[in-house]
Amino acid sequence: MSPENVQQFLENGMHRTCEPETTDGPKMKNTSEMPRKLTILGSTGSIGTNTLDVVRQLGGRRQFEIMALTGAGNIDLLAEQAREFGAQLAVTAEDNKYEALKSALAGTNIKVAAGKSGLEEAALMDAGWVMAAIAGTPGLAPTLTAARRGADIALANKECLVSAGDVFLRTVKQGGGRLIPVDSEHSAIFQCLTGEHKQAVERIVLTASGGPFRTWSRDEMANVTADIARAHPNWSMGLKVSIGSASMFNKGLEMIEAKYLFDLRPDQVEVIVHPQSIVHSMVGYTDGSYIAQLGSPDMRTAISYALTYPERGNLNVERLDFAKLARLDFEAPDETRFPALRLARTALERGGLQGAALNAAEETAFHAFVEGGIGFLDMAEIVETVMDRMHDGRSAATIEDVFAADKEARSHALELVVNIGKAA
């Protein structure tokens, strides 16, 4: 980092985001007071269900007060969660599921809401800690709302930073809350920075498992289906993240996210393939040393750290057995077979609204792939074409600029999807 960036890093606490206690930086406010008021945006997904399991392990309703839970179409699970944890508000993002959720929670004192207005209401609830786990761009608006009122945001939604990095960070800073990373890689970096002088940070290294196609050729990947691509070798994740791991778009989004979280230059963000998923990421320092965070591939560890920081919870997860593990492998990523990494670096270098273009095009291509409209390799080609079309130097002054770019990119991507379908 440049001296100017380091000074800003220290004075602003990474834009009052996830600044750990260091030998030369500010101390975090005390977050150990219980019971803590929590809201989970996206409680029925993989991150949300794991968050609630962490809450169970750390004392449940004795230690935590659940203000709001939100989900989409899985009404039975959402209602079950709301009943178990005594949520004050339960929200389905799907307007047409309101009556079903209301019926499922009949006889309780739990308030029910639906749609965008319901998500907004959930984000406005008086929770000091908000898990942002709604996948994709739909999670941006409610997360911004929670940030504006000063909540601490546990960020599992990459799109908030990929699409709206500067706008989102500015909102967090103005609200006075903190942005705490939940992705295992960014949580690892956060932990590796604790107690260190920031001016000594030279680079960060994000690890990637390589996904199910790590050793496959492009010809072999050309014919894979969504069912094949979703089978991650190490992690248990939702469909979007699993397929994103297979294409390495997920890692590309994490590169952009890391730049904003830790105030880095594009050239300070590196990726290394690590098939075992034991080393979750590393920080390289100016004296040539590296500090790494290791653990079993279980999202609950990172979630627990975000929830209990600066303390650590007593969590029932698998412990590493180094004798059985025996070896850790690392290899350079192949950006020819996995162009998502190259596209992410291009977005970082170009700046402006390129992250929004990349994200919107990738989401559109992902849905088309899952529905069988395009092939696995078509996703990266669509994203690159959309990014090139929108490479005009524009930047985002407001969130409306981000939403406009998102809409434009989706339109371009959909046009390309239709053309591929016609040519098939």
pLDDT tens for residues 33-56? 568 999 999 999 999 999 999 999
Task: Return all residues near 392 (Cβ < 8 A) that are at least 6 apart.
Answer: none
Tell me what the mean pLDDT of segment 154-183 comes to.
94
Q: Tens of pLDDT along 7-37? A: 344 344 443 455 554 434 333 344 455 689 9
Residue 115 has pLDDT above 90, yes or no: yes
Instruction: Give the end-to-end CA distance of the chain in Å, rounded to a whole number.
Output: 48
For residue 257, give the amino acid letter.
Answer: E
Q: What is the pTM of this model?
A: 0.87
How far apart CA 110 and CA 90 sit, in angstroms, is 7
How far apart CA 155 and CA 134 sit, in angstroms, is 10
pLDDT for res 232: 62
Q: Which two tokens stand for residue 60?
A: 């449940």
Tell me the H-state helices in 211-248.
218-221, 226-229, 239-247
Identify which of 416, 361, 414 has the alpha carbon closest to the alpha carbon of residue 390.
361
Residue 340 has pLDDT above 90, yes or no: yes
pLDDT for res 28: 36
The H-or-E segment that residue 412 falls in is helix 399-423
Higher pLDDT, 26 or 384: 384
pLDDT for res 18: 55
Inter-residue contact 300 to 315 (CB < 8 Å): yes
Confidence band (pLDDT; 50, 70, 90) for 4? very low
Percentage of residues in the chain with pLDDT exceeding 90?
78
pLDDT for res 341: 96
Inter-residue contact 252 to 354 (CB < 8 Å): no
pLDDT for res 136: 81
Strand ranges, E, within 196-278: 201-208, 269-273
How far apart CA 113 and CA 115 sit, in angstroms, is 7
Confidence band (pLDDT; 50, 70, 90) for 204? very high
pLDDT for res 116: 96
Cβ count near 399 (within 10 Å): 17
CB-neighbour burial class of residue 27 (10 A; exposed 0-12, middle 13-18, buried 19+) = exposed
Average pLDDT for the chain: 89
pLDDT for res 359: 95
pLDDT for res 19: 54
- Three-class DSSP category at 106: coil
pLDDT for res 35: 83
Confidence band (pLDDT; 50, 70, 90) for 194? confident
Cβ count near 294 (within 10 Å): 14
The H-or-E segment that residue 281 falls in is strand 279-285
Tell me what the mean pLDDT of segment 327-342 comes to.
95
How far apart CA 400 and CA 388 sit, in angstroms, is 21
